[in-house]
Amino acid sequence: MKILDKIKLPEGRRLEFKELLPTKADLVKTIVAFANDAGGELFIGIKNNPRAIIGIKKEHLDSLENQISNIINDGCEPTILPEISFIEEAGKFIVRVFIHKGSKPPYFLKSKGKETGTFIRVGSSNRLANDEMIQELERTGNRISFDAELVFKKTIEQLNIENFKEFFKDKTDEELNGEVLKKLDLLKKEQGQFFPTNALVLLSNDDVKKELFPYAKIECARFKGTIPGTYIDQKTIIGSIADHAELAYQFIMRHVSQGTKDYEGVYRNDRWEYPMIAMREVIRNAVIHRDYSLLGKDIKIAIFDDKIEVTSPGKLLPSVDFNEMDAGQSDVRNKVLAPVFKRLGIIEQWGNGLQLIADDLKTYPEIAFKWNEPGVAFRVTFIKKDFKQQQELQHELQHELQQELQQELQHELQHELQQELQQELQQESLYTIVLRIIFKRTVATKEIALELGQKSISGQLYQTINRLREDNLIAWTIPETPKSSKQQYKITDRGIAFLQLLHKNKK
């Protein structure tokens, strides 16, 4: 990429710009962070904000090259070998320092040691690595994955894997016996005894999984609106991670709609509002490639009116680039789990996941696909491009329908509710009071009781709410699950018209 194109890019995981040579400490932190991650480029002689080529004087280039080499050599452990080159653009010189992804992490500042001198790249900044991150870097350097490590709390005879055995049999038509467990590296021998690996514990329903991996779960939520806040629905997916992806996908399916786009001849062409093949692959990737060594983090799926976000613990693998989804990339963080998931049919073919996402997105030009790394996590977002336009059109239609409906209801209510109106004009009854409470906001039965000053829910209140619902003045927020613990009540168009008519008659 030419330098004029490069400087248009934002600073990030693999790119940094400096107007002048940084201090020794800052330079070494950046070099170490690049080496511990995906590698990167540091350009000196380019102002970051606003972005502009300032340049380095030609006579200073050689001495600056030596200075950079000496700082890196003296300040970094293990040894890091930078590639330093000069770029000339419009008579100005820029120094490019290229750092390869290190093969012997963790890299750290010699002066501070591994525990307090290891840095990683998070976005465009360098962050001090904690113990969990350092251990993961050590595993990477030793070519060991976290899911391959042994768990000594229970032997294989003591570990409850009955549910996983049934799941495995159902998906593969094969018995999950000791030999298969060994072949899949789910079981390893240590000092004459067989112990499960972290991978097998994660696939189990044993109590030791809850103890060691309490955050090996998926938190799903459907929010009202476009920002986190009021829940419409939520679900926590726990237990064996073998069926996490499918259960999360089913949750999303409950909250996206399927409509008819057009007809091909006499055949109807049904189409989901989101690219569901791409969505399934993103969820699978989140489960298969998440960093299970980050014990305080879980996968989160958030559904809003205008987008769906899938956030997975752990940064994107250094060798994978979501900007090149058509390139057939394949890399594995969990080297034991990935082959098991392939055996179970959760992974269909190595390296085709990103291609499936790219292909499906091409059929959905109205959906924007974005990815970023918020902290030590990876997030994918599907965004409705024309959401605001749709919202404005929906508001217009709602306004027109509301006017028509209100006129119809006014006539209907004049006849059906005249008797009740006369009673309400004399005295505000519990019927109207409850309706006014629900008019303000969606609310649960217990909250209505509290607002009425009742210590507990009275039988009269239950009768009043049922009557309001039967009269179609209020409705459940979760009609498909009447007994849900999240159940609340909302006012209907008929209820709004009733209150308006009541107010008019009181005047």
Sheet holding 307-313, edge to edge: 231-237, 218-223, 299-303, 307-313, 377-384, 367-372
> Around 471, how many Cα atoms within 13 Å sit in the side-chain half-sphere?
23
With 70 as the cut, is the pLDDT of residue 483 above it? yes
98 pLDDT more than 90: yes
Q: How confident is the model at residue 18 (pLDDT cuts 50, 70, 90)?
A: very high
Q: pLDDT band for position 426 (50/70/90)?
A: very low
> pTM for the whole thing?
0.71
Q: Of 126, 141, 156, which marks where a domain is finished? A: 141
Contact call for residues 243 and 170 (beta carbons, < 8 A): no
Percent of the chain with pLDDT over 70: 86
The confidence band for 425, taking pLDDT boundaries of 50, 70 and 90, is very low
pLDDT band at 417 (very low <50, low <70, confident <90, very high): low
Structure tokens at 348: 């269909």
Same domain, 175 and 228: no
Q: Is residue 368 domain-shared with residue 225, that is, in the same domain?
A: yes
Number of structural domains, the chain? 4
* Residues 197 and 317 reside in one and the same domain: no
Whether residues 208 and 229 share a domain: the answer is: no
Tell which wins on pLDDT, 462 or 261. Answer: 462
Do 351 and 320 lie in one domain? The reply is yes
Residue 261 has pLDDT above 80, yes or no: no
Angle formed at CA 398 by CA 396 and CA 399, multiple of 5 degrees: 65
- The position carrying tokens 């194109």 is 5
Asked if 56 contacts 45 with a C-beta cutoff of 8 angstroms, the reply is yes
Three-class SS string for 122-163? ECCEEEECCHHHHHHHHHHHCCCCHHHCECCCCCCCCCCCHH
Residues 6+ apart with CB under 8 A from 420: 431
pLDDT (tens digit per residue) in 230-245 = 989 999 999 999 999 9
pLDDT digits (tens, 9 = 90+) for 50-96: 999 999 999 999 999 999 999 999 999 999 999 999 999 999 999 99
Give the tens place of pLDDT for each residue, 314-357.
988 877 766 665 555 567 899 999 999 999 988 876 667 788 89
User: Do 428 and 354 reside in the same domain of the chain?
Assistant: no
**Same-domain check for residues 53 and 79:** yes
Last residue of a domain, one of 212, 232, 257: 212
Do both 448 and 495 map to the same domain? yes
Q: Are 241 and 345 members of one domain?
A: yes
- CATH number assigned to the domain comprising residue 260: 3.30.565.60
Considering the domain architecture, whether residues 359 and 269 belong to the same structural domain is answered as yes
Residue 95: closest CA among 52, 64, 124, 51: 64
**222 and 362 co-located in one domain:** yes
Query: Which of 343, 360, 385 represents a domain boundary (last residue)?
Result: 385
- Domain limits for position 76: 3-141
pLDDT value of position 150: 96
Do 117 and 201 belong to one domain?
Answer: no
Higher-scoring residue by pLDDT: 432, 180: 180
| The pLDDT of residue 111 is above 70 | yes
